[in-house]
Amino acid sequence: MNDEVAVKGERVAKHMARAGLCSRRDAERWISDGRVEVDGKTINTPATIVDDPSRISVDGSKLGQKGETRLWRYHKPPGLVTSHKDDMGRSTVFEKMPEHLPRVISVGRLDLNTEGLLLLTNDGELARRLELPSTGWKRRYRVRIFGHVSDDRLASLAKGITVDGIHYEPIEAKLEKRTGSNAWLEMVLTEGKNREIRRVLEHLGLKVSRLIRMDYGPFKLGDLTRGAVKEVSRKMLVDQLGKNLDITDVDSKAAAKAKKTSRSGWAKAKPKKKSSSKLRDKSKARALADAKERAKAKSIVNNKEAGPKKGPDKGKGKGKGKNP
């Protein structure tokens, strides 16, 4: 019986993350701190398997059932820490969330002074998946720098670079515009390690004065104003994240659509089918036209075989009639 439950169940940390309570990493830490119980007994390992999340309690409260997965775009202003709690007492992004928003966690982080697009979700497991470089999603930034750099130096980042023993994967970088000693760059990453852009540019002798994330995969900052939060539509969520959503989390039509999406994430167009009634009507029309042509051709042949018709007699002595 225990083996059967183990096969059907999931790790406690995963249940907690999917309920939007915290990230899986935080869940493992809470378990180590003795804050989590299963069936009223404190557990000390995140590897504990549970088939029903209602058996889990955190800080004495039952774990709620997982709701519908949701995703929001948030324009993070500079000066906020991407954390639920800061030991230094600094303001956090989650303290600035609208009151109507449920408890959410971030997909990755943005540094204290970095601004721009930050994705938020109520599904910790989804957040963990979208952070992984294996998604292949590009993160695009605009960077204002102080200093001079050549196009060739920026192009060399496309081969990857190692700074202080840390290797960074290839980076797309190009100069947008220059004004005196300042310049704007566009940089595109696929992994986003801690302070990656700042460290790489400092290694090139450049100082970053402003850093804005514009895109995270298919999701864009757009015209979202600083501090604003906007939910991603359900349609776009399924179109772009169908393979990362729990199949029980979407309705049957959306799930079927997600399975048929192309690799780029957009649904494939279905070939149009002509109705059978229209095909029958066209077939009848062609048959009727053919029949008329055959009848016309037959009439011409018969007339030729019969020869010219003679006119009626007008009486003797009037002469012979003429051919028509």
287-301: pLDDT as tens digits: 677 676 666 665 655
81-85, 148-152, 280-284, range with the lowest pLDDT: 280-284
Domain count, the chain: 2
Query: pLDDT-based confidence at 248, cuts 50/70/90?
Result: very low
**Under a CB-based contact definition with an 8 Å cutoff, are residues 92 and 54 in contact?**
no
Look at residue 227 and tell me if it is in a domain: no
Percent of the chain with pLDDT over 70: 72
47 is a domain residue: yes
Domain termination site, one of 183, 216, 249: 216
Q: CA angle 25-27-28, nearest 5°?
A: 65
What does the pLDDT average to over 86-111? 90
Give the pLDDT of residue 279: 54
- In-domain check, residue 276: no
At 117, which helix (H) or strand (E)?
A: strand 115-121
In a domain, residue 291? The reply is no
The whole-number average pLDDT for the span 77-97 is: 91
Mean predicted confidence (pLDDT) in 34-52: 89
Q: Which residues pair with 172 in a beta bridge?
A: 188
| Domain that includes residue 157, residue range | 138-216
Higher pLDDT, 1 or 213: 213
Q: Which two tokens stand for residue 132?
A: 């992984």
Average pLDDT over residues 120-145: 90
Please indicate, yes or no, if residue 295 is contained in any of the structural domains.
Answer: no
Choose one of 216, 231, 266: the last residue of a domain.
216
CATH of the domain at 17: 3.10.290.10
- Amino acid identity for residue 129 in this structure: R
The answer to whether residue 205 sits within a structural domain is yes
Whether residue 42 lies inside any domain: the answer is yes
pLDDT of residue 256: 45
Alpha-carbon Rg for the chain in angstroms = 36
Mean pLDDT of 13-34: 82
The answer to which of 85-89, 108-112, 160-164 has the lowest mean pLDDT is 85-89
Helix (H) or strand (E) holding 230: strand 229-231
Q: Is the pLDDT of residue 262 over 80?
A: no
Is the residue at 283 inside a domain? no
pLDDT at 175: 94
CA of residue 256 relative to chain centroid, distance: 16
Rounded to an integer, what distance in angstroms lies between the CA atom of residue 152 and that of residue 219? 30
Predicted confidence (pLDDT) at residue 200 exceeds the cutoff of 90 = yes
Of 52, 86, 111, 239, the catalytic one is 111
Annotated catalytic residue 111: yes
Segment 273-296 shows an average pLDDT of: 62
pTM (predicted TM-score):
0.65
Can you give the CATH number for the domain in which 160 is found?
3.30.70.1560
Which of 20, 42, 62 finishes a domain?
Answer: 62
Provide mean pLDDT across the span 104-119. Answer: 94
